[in-house]
Amino acid sequence: MIHVKSAIEIVSMRNACRLAAEVLKETGKNVQIGITTKELENIANKKIKSLGAKSAFFGYRDYPGIICTSVNEVIIHGIPSYRKLNDGDIIGIDVGVVYEGFCGDTAKTFAVGKISENTEKFLKISELSLNKALDNCFAGQRIGDVSSVIQKTAEENGFSVVRDFVGHGIGRNLHEDPQIPNRGKAGIGVRIPESCCLAIEVMINEGTWQVELLSDNWTVITADKKLSAHFEHTVLVKKGGVEILTVC
């Protein structure tokens, strides 16, 4: 069931999402050659605490991290570790917070030092696919209308979309209905109601769409070890379009 938010709930969603965006911004500022993903997690943790919020990820289905840090071939759910970032790496940082009983969820993939021209194009197209999905999301649209533009944008540029993980509704719970796949057909799927909140997330692979799960049971990597990028915003769906909530 898709939960439609009341005016009061929307106020709290805005607050929670703004804080998630602030944490992502602060953490992203610290991405640099030589830093470990654990150090980035510590920075995020401090910021979350200083804002009076809580991590929405820590302890969720026993996830052991405060944030997710997904380097290069890691698609999502990278657990912060003593892995150091190298020149030319990319890192997806995913932040979820709970505040006033509501969740905000946002992710962005950052360049470390100087990345190649190909990698730069890859990140640009991945972010574009999220932006196009946001442009195509408004009350009355179907899920397939959003999913299909993600797939089209990625594939027409020679990249692939992840099939095994999806975007999601969000509210009091991190993951609510509906699911928002990265692939689909326009005109297909359930209609998106006004005043629902969605975490639209694109997971784009440079090579194959196929994934592998590491033995930690969290880290998802590309089967061919090529790069993967992750961009995510939590939005409020309105008549004419979305209000992006994870901004600051």
Angle between helices 37-50 and 7-29 (to 10 degrees): 140
Q: Does 94 bind Co ion (CB under 5 A)?
A: yes
**Which residues, other chains included, contact 3 with Cβ-Cβ below 8 Å and sequence gap of 6+?**
169, 171, 176, 177, 196
- Give the Cβ contact number of residue 124 at 10 Å: 12
Q: Does 105 bind Co ion (CB under 5 A)?
A: yes
Binder among 85, 199, 204, 242 for Co ion (CB under 5 A): 199
Q: In whole angstroms, how close is the CB of 33 to ligand MF3 at the nearest point?
A: 26
| DSSP letter assigned to residue 191 | B
Q: In whole angstroms, how close is the CB of 109 to ligand MF3 at the nearest point?
A: 13
For residues 145 to 184, the per-residue mask of contacts with Co ion, x marking binding by CB under 5 A and - elsewhere, is ----------------------------------------
Q: In whole angstroms, how close is the CB of 170 to Co ion at the nearest point?
A: 7
CB crowding 141-151: b at 16 or more within 10 Å, else e? bbbbbbbbbbb
**Which residues, other chains included, contact 136 with Cβ-Cβ below 8 Å and sequence gap of 6+?**
145, 146, 149
In whole angstroms, give the CA distance from residue 224 to residue 245: 34
**Which residues of the chain form contacts with ligand MF3 (CB under 6 A)?**
57, 60-61, 63, 68, 77, 94, 96, 105, 168, 199, 201, 232
CB closer to ligand MF3 out of 110 and 115: 110
Among Co ion, ligand MF3, none, what does residue 57 contact (CB within 5–8 Å per kind)? ligand MF3
Q: In whole angstroms, how close is the CB of 130 to Co ion at the nearest point?
A: 12
Q: Tell me the helices (H) and strands (E) count for the chain, helix number first.
A: 4, 13
Binding site for Co ion (CB under 5 A): 94, 105, 107, 199, 201, 232
